[in-house]
Structure 1
Amino acid sequence: MNMVPNEVFEKYRKQFHSLKRATNTNLGKAPHKPILLLSIIQLIHKGEIQINKVFITGELVIAFKSNWISLVETNHTQNFSLPFFHLNSEPFWRLVYINGLSDKKEKISSLGKLKSRIAFAEIDKDLFELIINPIYRTELENTILDFYFPNTKANYQFGIIDRYDLENIIKEQILNDTKEEYRTLMIEKSLELTDNEIEEERYIRGSIFKREIPKIYQNQCCISGMRIETTTNAQMIDACHIIPFSLSNDDTVSNGISLSPNLHRAYDRGLITINEDYIVRVSPTIKENDSPFSITQFAGVRILLPEDNKKYPSPENFIWHKKEVFVF
């Protein structure tokens, strides 16, 4: 016999009341799981999570951090990967592993390992349907806030992810900092933060870089002009670092261009490059048949550039790529 919505709500309300949480002698019970659940509810409300699958995204990590700052009073270590992994002990949450195989003895406590092992988490469809409903969603949020964060619940804004201060600060740095300023900032953060915190920081910044660079190029590939728009959140144009972040510590617009996935791959492998005067060069090692999708057709093409010349890619970075990556 199928349960009516009120019975379904009561089931999940009880489950939310009895989350299994680690206990620290000095700090008390961990707040990580309820913070992550609130963050997921907010993203479902905003339409950024549209099905009952929860992927690891920069938006979710930002929401988690923002809610943590607003609600958590204890000195627990802020770590996104812990609740994402350990919610698997709750009846409504299931982890889906990338290789399809799980190790019951495995413990995941870093974002890098989480992303390398977990494809996504799946929540019950009944729970997802409850969250879509504004009445039940608000009740579930209140259940979490009243039980776990009674002293700080007034800081929570229903339906609004108060992540925008954090997000806008990073966005402004990516769009307006010089590469020297940005590198200095990242060096300072690497000295101030733990290994896991700097991993999460870089992931968030990389996610914002991937979102903002295509916008600057009107969501077009700067070489082919390809633009695909969808009614979903799918992004079909890539943000490409001219000099890899691992070498440059640079997420600023001067180190980014927008490329279609095939040209992004060709650029990263040195099969194409761009001169300091923004002209495409194609490696002589390429041999291909005559096709509308050929890479050689773009030899000698001048790339599309942002409307604002302050956001142009750096000629110095293109010189580096031509010297260090391009295959002559």
Structure 2
Amino acid sequence: MALSDHIETLYDLRRDRSGGYEKPYKPALLLALIDRIELGEVLDNRFLLSLQLVERYRDYLRVVGGPDDHDRIHYPFWHLCGDKLWMCYDRNGQPLYVSGQNASSSPSVKWIREHMSHASLDPELFQCLLQAPEREYVRRVLIDRYFPAQRELLWALLAVPADQVQAAEDSAHYNSDPIRTAAFAKTVKAVYDYRCAASGLRFRLRDLTIVDACHLIPFAESHNDHPTNGMALSKNHHWAFDRHLISPEHSQAGLVWKVSPLLDDRIEGHRELIELNGRSVLLPKEKKFYPSDDAIAWRVERLLLG
């Protein structure tokens, strides 16, 4: 499996769908696993449910967890197996986690320690993480996708010098990286069910779809690849969106489209966009993926008014 495939999987980890927001457990565990590798504690892809791993996981949860989130590591340690990036093995080298049999349960830390020999990452992903540049890349991907609002706190937790973080985030290569961009696009299109949030147009045939995935606040500025900073739009609406001719905005009727007053309904090419004015934004089915208030405000402030 190529690194691009791993990144796509990391962008769309199977999530707890309760609570109205994405639970932070799996990406927090992955960040803790990366730290164990970076410290040279895991060289053979055999992870144990050690006190050091538990404490590091709790460090991350203190930063990214909400008031209703718990720091019980056995949940992500077990259920990450369902994403096919990770597996727990018994003393005979056989998988402990078996889809369709015990995958829905969450065994205790005690049970895991008694029955597990070790856990391992996907071998190709593990080999990538042994290399410092790839390890740092995957870490940034996880932060940008799941925890963009806590970025500064996470970099402080990692004790990364501010100038080093700034240099990494200013990298033109990272900002335009096709692997990260493709993973974001795949996630956002799926969240919107491959439907344009403006026109409602939907077309999907295998990997073909008519919509693009757009950032509300550009990635180069926000370093935010969370779906709440994204929207699916057809080509023409994407073009108008990027040129600040249309924007979502809050109203008493909900989230609606606002159109630049520079458009003229006497001009044929403008009419389709003008007809959007005041019409509802077609949102994802899951409320936790609705555009964030900060991102909407950013767009409204930049709508062309004159």
TM-score by length of 1: 0.44
Bigger Cα Rg:
1
TM-score by length of 2: 0.46
